[in-house]
């Protein structure tokens, strides 16, 4: 026990050496020593928690308070990653990654020399994201854009990426990211046409332990339709619906669309997202008309606490009027 205590004391003192001067003290009585041990262990815990601190930028974008940040970290939706690559005078670092089944969020920080102007519509000329396993390499659909520049920091930008994994199990896999040549577009959303820095910023990391989410069996047919929702699997930043929809209506848009959560306190929370929902038949080329398995997946740029959600609010437009329906989860 004394050796363990001494090791903790040495590690904590070393970690705090740059922050404050440690004053020497005389021997303490037993009760004071016990109290010091509690404080010391608390300091070690706090130092460990600091390693898992969210990026302030990501926390702001997700409107996540400290309790929500701690919850998602505890559930392994996010974890510490210290990755940065410098080329062509520009450093690209991974600010944070949030990963749940079917949905992935990444935030990169782009830092140029102090005299570099990174304002405008910034992007990379080439971007590639692939999941790599022992025997497979998987591409997945993604989208991204550069956030607005911070005031007084024209040489720093943040770039967000969202992706749908579409039923791919990422546990035990790595994510390979390849970025090449930083540029600026003259038109919003256009291809980069002004090269700001030539270089390659490649990085890779393991995807963590994975998160299962919470599944609700609802077995509900939406009103005046032949669309059935069997189950809804929810995470704090996404949901996945396992459904059935008759093939007789192939090619038509789904009349009912999920638009928000109905909360236990009677309020409604509209979905906050950047990437439109992905929906479609599980088997695009059916073997028969009886193959009606359909799915909807949605990822958010906000944290929703599952135990506070009562149901999912659907909406459909009927002429100039809108109709609403709550899909109850419990």
Sheet (strand 238-245) strand order: 214-221, 227-235, 238-245, 293-299, 278-281
SS3 state at 216: strand
Q: Any residues with CB less than 8 A from the CB of 325 and at least 6 apart, and which?
A: 222, 223, 256, 313, 314, 315, 316
193 shares its domain with 277? no
- CATH code, domain with 186: 2.60.40.1630
pTM (two decimals): 0.79
Same-domain pairing of 104 and 172: yes
- Rounded average pLDDT over 246-257: 72
CATH number at residue 300: 2.60.40
41 pLDDT more than 60: no
- Same domain, yes or no, for 227 and 180? no
Range(s) of the domain holding residue 79 = 56-206
Return the pLDDT at 159.
96
Residues 277-316: tens digit of each pLDDT: 889 898 888 777 788 999 999 999 999 999 999 999 999 9
Q: Are 185 and 252 part of one and the same domain?
A: no
Q: Higher-confidence residue: 67 or 247? A: 67
Domain identity same for 31 and 114: no
- Let me know whether 62 and 202 are in one domain: yes
Q: Given pLDDT bands bounded at 50, 70 and 90, which one contains residue 251?
A: low
Task: Identify the CA nearest to 143 among candidates 158, 160, 126, 119.
Answer: 160
Residues 138 and 116 in one domain: yes
How many separate domains does the chain show? Answer: 3
The mean predicted confidence, pLDDT, of the chain is: 82
pLDDT of 268 reads: 97
pLDDT value of position 189: 65
* Res 193 pLDDT > 70: yes
Residues 86 and 178 in one domain: yes
Biggest distance spanned by C-alpha atoms of the chain: 84
pLDDT higher than 80, residue 187: no
Number of Cβ within 10 Å of residue 179's Cβ equals: 23
Cross-strand pairs, 126: 180
């Amino acid at each position: 026990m004394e050796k363990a205590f001494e090791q903790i004391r040495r590690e904590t003192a070393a970690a705090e050496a740059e922050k404050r001067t440690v004053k020497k003290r005389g021997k303490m009585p037993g009760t004071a020593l016990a109290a010091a041990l509690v404080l010391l262990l608390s300091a070690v815990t706090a130092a460990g928690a600091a390693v898992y601190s969210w990026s302030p930028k990501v926390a702001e974008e997700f409107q996540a308070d400290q309790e929500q940040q701690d919850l998602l970290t505890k559930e392994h939706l996010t974890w510490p990653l210290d990755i940065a690559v410098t080329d062509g005078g520009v450093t690209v670092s991974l600010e944070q990654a949030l990963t749940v089944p079917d949905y992935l969020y990444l935030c990169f920080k782009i830092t140029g020399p102090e005299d570099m102007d990174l304002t405008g519509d910034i992007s990379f000329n080439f971007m590639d994201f692939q999941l790599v396993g022992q025997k497979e390499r998987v591409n997945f659909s993604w989208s991204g854009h550069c956030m607005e520049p911070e005031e007084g920091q024209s040489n720093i930008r943040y770039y967000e990426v969202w992706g749908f994994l579409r039923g791919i199990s990422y546990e035990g896999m790595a994510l390979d990211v390849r970025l090449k040549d930083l540029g600026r577009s003259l038109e919003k959303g256009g291809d980069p046409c002004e090269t700001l820095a030539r270089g390659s910023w490649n990085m890779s990391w393991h995807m963590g332990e994975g998160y299962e989410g919470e599944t609700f069996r609802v077995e509900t047919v939406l009103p005046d339709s032949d669309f059935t929702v069997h189950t809804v699997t929810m995470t704090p930043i996404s949901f996945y619906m396992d459904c059935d929809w008759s093939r007789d209506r192939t090619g038509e848009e789904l009349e009912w669309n999920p638009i928000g959560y109905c909360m236990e306190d009677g309020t409604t929370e509209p979905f906050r997202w950047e990437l439109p929902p992905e929906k479609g038949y599980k088997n695009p080329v059916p073997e028969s008309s009886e193959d009606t398995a359909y799915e909807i997946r949605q990822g958010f740029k906000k944290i929703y606490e599952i135990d506070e959600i009562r149901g999912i609010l659907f909406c459909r437009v009927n002429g100039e009027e809108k109709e609403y329906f709550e899909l109850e989860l419990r």
